[in-house]
Amino acid sequence: MSRRRARAPRAHERYVPRWPLVAGALALLLVAVIGGYTGGLLAADGEEAEEPDVRVEAGLLAQPPGAPEETEALAEEETEEAVVHPAGLDPELVYVLQNVHGDRVMDVVDKSTANGAPVHLWDRHDDTNQQWRFVPVEEGFYEIEGIGSGKLLEIPSDPAAQPGSALLTRTGSPNQHWAVIEVGPNVVRLVNRATGQALEGQGGAPDNGTRITQAPDGGHAHQQWRLLPLG
């Protein structure tokens, strides 16, 4: 019985080692893993750079260095609160002051701009000698400034002066300060700080030329003034 000789493998059937392929695949996988990890670190660094510097102290969230204190923020809020003026008064506006009794208005006699110029009631015409601005001073009082003269309404302290209200250059004295007491919307009484008396058409008369003087504050119609803003 004859033996068969084992057939030699042909050239295309020769054994090809597979470890280089496996090693290559592992190398690619390793590169992918390292690349992903590095990218994650870079992204994390970018996010940390964008986050504010917030620290935790004693279990509480602390502001970063240089951040404004909470007390400073509260102080700013209090400063920004609007000051409330009586009867809708706005110190930025110019007003005509109309007496409730008779509807005539506060007018500087003959449009005078001199110190000591008297003030009386007159028909409304809106010239500058009938225009007034309220200037806030301390403790809630106001100066009443004549637009035509730039001088202040006062009750003269000089016994030799004519009775009644008049204009004078600003002195800062209490006789140039007025309490604005709200009666109703845009209606007030004007009480002098030095004397405690109210501004009125003298004796309650409503006629043209009636002197504007002071008298004990009784809340009468001739002691009440409408604030009529000029646009």
Cα distance between residue 79 and residue 5, in whole Å: 110
> Phi/psi at 202 (nearest 5 deg)?
-55, 125
Tokens of 11: 């050239």
Q: Which fold has domain 104-230?
A: Trefoil (Acidic Fibroblast Growth Factor, subunit A) (2.80.10)
pTM: 0.67
Cα distance between residue 175 and residue 167, in whole Å: 11
DSSP 229: E
Cα distance between residue 213 and residue 163, in whole Å: 7
Domain residue spans in the chain?
104-230
Neighbours of 210 (CB within 10 A): 21
Q: Residue 201: which residues within 8 A CB-CB, separation 6 or more? A: 99, 101, 102, 104, 121, 210, 211, 212, 222
Residue with tokens 């200037």: 135
Confirm if 77 and 205 have CB atoms less than 8 A apart. no
Tens-level pLDDT at each residue, the chain (231 residues) = 444 454 554 544 455 455 555 556 566 666 555 655 555 544 555 555 455 454 544 454 555 555 555 556 555 655 556 789 999 999 999 999 999 999 999 999 999 999 999 999 999 999 999 999 999 999 999 999 999 999 999 999 887 776 799 999 999 999 999 999 999 999 999 999 999 999 999 999 999 999 999 999 999 999 999 999 997
C-alpha dist (Å) from residue 32 to 27, 144, 163: 9, 83, 101
Q: Residue 50: which residues within 8 A CB-CB, separation 6 or more? A: none
Radius of gyration of the chain (CA): 44
